[in-house]
Chain A
Amino acid sequence: MSPSLLAQYVMNGAMLGMMYALVAVGFTLFFGVLDIIQFAHGDVVAAGAFAGLAAWTLLTAAGVASPAVLLPVVILVAAAATALLGALVARFIVLPVKSAPQLNVLLVTLMGGTVLRESIRLFYPGGSQPQLFPALLPTSGWNFGDFHLRFDNVILLVCGALLIAGTHFLINRTRLGLAIRAVAQDEETARTMGIDFKRVVLVTFALGSALAAFAGVMDGLYYNEVFFGMGLLLGVIGFAAAILGGLGNLYGAIVGGFLFAALQTIGAVALPFASAYKDVFAFGVVIILMALRPTGLIGERTSERV
């Protein structure tokens, strides 16, 4: 394989990995504070991407054409929409069933996600078909021999890395992060220390969902389209990545995301039939990884107490 082709694959893998990592971080944050899996997470991401698209449509209709204005607005709208949705899901769907059996939490979030997914399909204009996502970033780039490094990919990667670094800072260096970590360690003790449990949960859900919104917009910019089922795919892969890295472990989620993207990229290169069977291969990898390492590579945060 020529170096330029290799570089191309590495770049594709890095883009995928960043998206997966951002989604996986959400799963791991939610699991941290509530010990539950928010299966609607992927669909919240899709809703965010569509909210961004709607913002773009409205702004261009109003005559705004400058990408420098459009892109930040699209991202902000997407982040705000998902933050709100994530908090709503936490408040009205997850918290009421927090003490119910695990299966019920799983089902209620899964069905909540279906409500979101179907709402996009039915109520977004043309939502049942894939929608074109505008290219808001310059698609030109640098040429290194045959390898074409596109500006938009670089910008997205840098932004994603900054977001992850920001999350790291927030969790480890701020009072809010301290509260989140306290709740994750022990809900009861955190409550007795005067931490507003409900507020921390809602903020965590808003934060994790907003992070994932960037993944949604990134997905749209990268593939130039969004469709109502994209959240399901991102959600399943993001969840698998979070498990791979050990649920509840922030860095594990990031590693898991990139690892998963690497596997997928290597699979696409190594297996001749894999390009047509791209998604089949991805889900096959999910199943096989779960069979081999059921609690992830790094191991879950806590062991089960009997």
Chain B
Amino acid sequence: MKSAAGPVLLTAVVTVFAWLILRAESQGEIALLFAIAIAAGVIALRTRLLAPLGHALDAHEGFAQGLAVAAVAVLALLLRDDDFALLLLVRVLIITVACLGLNVQFGYAGVVNFAGASFFGVGGYTAAVLSRVAGLPDWIILFAGGAAAAIIGSVLLLPILRTRGHYAALITIAFALLFRTFLEVNDSLGGPQGLKLPEMVIGPFHFNEPVAIASFEGSFYLRYLVVALLLLVLAFGVVQRLERSWIGVTLDAVRLDETAAATFGLNIARWKIASFTLGNFITGVAGALSAFMIGFIAPNNYTFAESLIFVSILLLGGIGNPWGVALATSVVILLPEKLQILQEYRFLIFAILVVLVLLFRPVGLLPRPLRRLVGRT
């Protein structure tokens, strides 16, 4: 039994660090903080310090997950009246959910999807359209966004099932380009100007009013944070249970060798359909929540370049590892938003980073651990 002190210490350090970054305003300070983070990361990689820590996290997994949720809650309370910091925090949570969806496709079933931002956008546009329909509760709309993404994704299923590798990639790339162009020329969906969304209301909670409970006051983003965190816990749970179950083993087999998997009687098509649909559903729900939070959507939010950012997150984090997705999302979202100089160059920077990662460390920052076939103790 390994000590639980490691995870606690790690969470504390990460929380304090995230707090420092989120509240920092001077560009010099932010640059320094990121430099420290990079240095710490390099040292951790070089000294193999991560391995024992990884084992400790593994041994106390449920505990570590609880700690992570608590850390986000603590961060939210510390930053309760800082709108921008909270917005960034919620964005990280939402994009993590979206990329967990992609992770099911890329990481487990090996179904490539270069249209992640498009399915994120399908969720957003569905939310925008459905929120005009009176009487539909907003929490249903969130899931309707996911359902719409899954349904539209099913249009691509036939070509994806009939092709592999490069060919399947081409189909999703074509879809990403098609989707964006379609939104721009289609007037009924707002054209290039996009659509506005009304305030999200779930039960008694009006999401665009400041939070005031007794003497506690905070930004309206806190409500979105709660919903995003709930979604993340849900998505994380589903994705991880999926990986641990016999379905995860099946998906691994499908990804690693289709022919061999088929000779063992696995129905390749069924598992590809299941993972592609589930992944798009998760991404779509995240897209719907994101649209509600920002209150405004336009085709420019859902470009192919954004889809590539999603893929970059997966690759940087380590394909197939949900923790890696969370870590990489934080870096990819926070770095350009906080360090304003980089904002304009973010696509370039992350593309270069991914090329370097693929050339020199193809497994990503936090590689997916080997499956343990013997039951855990």
Contact = CB atoms under 8 A, between A and B. Distances in A.
B163 A97 contact: no
A287 B115 CA distance: 13
A114 interface: yes
Interface in B136-183: 156, 158-159, 162-163, 165-167, 169-171, 173-175, 177-178, 181-182
Nearest to B112: A103
Contacts of A286: 170-171, 174
Contacts of A37: 166
Contact of A108 (B163, B165, B170, B355): B355
B170 A236 contact: yes
A294 interface: yes
Contact of B354 (A111, A279, A290, A291): A111
Given A108-B355, A232-B177, A306 B259 contact: yes
Interface residues of B, number: 40
Given A112-B355, A233-B177, A283-B175, A294 B165 contact: no
B131 interface: no
Contacts of A118: 345, 347-348, 351
The CB with the most chain A CB atoms within 10 A, among B112, B114, B348, is that of B348
Nearest to B177: A283
A102 interface: yes
A116 B348 CA distance: 8
A102 B156 CA distance: 21
Contact of B304 (A103, A232, A243, A294): A232
A110 B176 CA distance: 14
A237 B65 CA distance: 45
A258 interface: no
A104 interface: yes
Contacts of A280: 178, 181-182, 185
A231 B70 CA distance: 46
A48 to B, nearest CB: 19
A276 interface: yes
A287 B112 CA distance: 15
A286 B172 CA distance: 10
B352 interface: yes
Contact of B351 (A104, A114, A287): A114
Interface in B105-156: 110, 112, 114, 156
Contacts of B332: none
Contacts of B354: 107-108, 111
Interface string A226-247: 0000001100100110010000
Given A107-B354, A111-B355, A283 B362 contact: no
Contacts of A110: 114, 169, 308
A287 B159 contact: yes
Interface string A110-142: 111011001100100000000000000000000
A107 B311 contact: yes
A190 to B, nearest CB: 23
A115 B351 contact: yes
B170 A283 contact: no
B119 to A, nearest CB: 15
B175 A111 contact: no
Given A104-B362, A108-B354, A290-B162, 9 more contacts: A106-B166, A111-B351, A112-B351, A115-B352, A115-B355, A236-B173, A287-B171, A290-B167, A290-B170
Q: Ordered nearest first, which 10 A-B pairs have the shortest CB separation?
A: A291-B159, A283-B178, A118-B348, A114-B351, A286-B174, A283-B174, A294-B162, A37-B166, A108-B358, A290-B159
